[in-house]
Amino acid sequence: MITLVDYGVGNLGSIANMVRYVGGTSNVTSDPDEIARAEIIVLPGIGHFKRGMQELHDRQIIDPLNQARSEGAWILGICLGMQLMTEHSEEGDCAGLGWFKLKTRRIPQETIANKTMVIPHMGWNRVKVVNGGCDLLLPDEDASRFYFVHSYYVDGKASDKCICTTTYGSTEFASGIADGHTFGFQFHPEKSHKYGMRLMKKLVEIRNG
């Protein structure tokens, strides 16, 4: 059973559909006790960093997430959910959960070959697997294509916690991070067809592996 954390800013339906498609089951909850007891957690997110942290605080979800993590739960953060795992974001000048000693920054506006880069970064892009990848993203998946929608990025390409990077314009950023059983991906596996299905299937099966 995969616990999908409902804090008001995630596309939970798409993730639940993907989990079901790859053979898993899920429940959507904002109940602190359920989250604290969960063995596999997905922290989704679309939208503003400061609002996301405020919703987690208002719904009393932060302490249960920390408890579940300390007790060995597998936790996957998607898009904003990944960014919330960092120490701080420029979006709202707001502190995050602090699970990764990294910062979230705005994608710089730039002009390349007389063309202004569009922000948000939206659409398909490739990942480069680094530091051996992780249980959910193996080295042989280098150059896999995933779907992105974001205006901010995790500044962590040089970190030993970085498991893959992606380049947009001249900015290379951490598109995946991992520490133990805690994972974060900037892209949306639930919208990434066969590559996203492969990743989510690994999450579903990982406790049996």
* Residue 110 annotated in active site: no
Length of the chain: 209
Exactly one of 48, 150, 181, 188 is catalytic; which is it?
A: 188
Q: Which residues contact 79 (CB under 8 A, 6 or more apart)?
A: 44, 45, 46, 149, 150, 185, 186, 187, 188
Write out the two tokens for 198.
């492969």
Exactly one of 79, 134, 162, 164 is catalytic; which is it?
A: 79
Write out the two tokens for 173.
């950023």
* Residue 39 annotated in active site: no
Exactly one of 48, 55, 164, 190 is catalytic; which is it?
A: 190
* Residue 121 annotated in active site: no
Catalytic residues: 79, 188, 190
